[in-house]
Structure 1
């Protein structure tokens, strides 16, 4: 396991549609392990493979104590409902935040590190993190969706991390 360099905007890999994963092997396992280590090291709540320079449809999210670390390969949004509006940041766009409107609740599906089907439901921050990371796999950044963008303020002690 290792900490990988987080790619910063405007790197081209952040604007590409990531490729579907077809091989579930040791290389994928190492990528997932490294992504989790990198996310935790950067105090994030999510990370997509393009953010570490790998154009594959892979995300990791850890946005609540109930679920802990979630690894999703080839994730898709199955359904969404409600609405939330609030600040988002991104490890690939340090120093900026934006107010983004997203669904309040989502259901996502994908595969685990071994290719087995998995599904998760998320509300509030977990829903936001799933959607933010899946957007990365499609070359979409929060700055594309934000209704306002501003300099990131210093975090409060209990404030959530960035995705």
Structure 2
């Protein structure tokens, strides 16, 4: 579909991947209306298309964790704001301690996450199995893991994910 481009625009964004779309979204949310986004092909068909997957929030410092929280909240609300299906699902996640050293690391990460305002809790392997039952039937959204009694998982309920092609 060919359309005539405007001769000028206050804001011209080149690239319709996650960064270009985010800039356009934030500019329009701030009230700017003269925003032009240029993309050579379908939106999100470049490197963004190759990077679907988990949208986690636990980061190494509070600033990055808050940015990740903001992003997750925006992704959650984007469909309502735009009327465009995004494919974003908030399912939570379980991180499994598969070695004897990992429980200590997960305990520290869990504590750090709570200090950043994340909903994080440590649960036993039995509780993880109860909450996240293994199914031999795989869907495009869930891949389940059977955990041994030696595993100590951490759960992050606000974690979400995108699947390929659902980013826009």
TM-score interval, normalised by the smaller of the two chains: under 0.3
More strand by percentage? 1
Larger radius of gyration: 2
Normalised TM-score (structure 1) = 0.28
More helix by percentage? 2
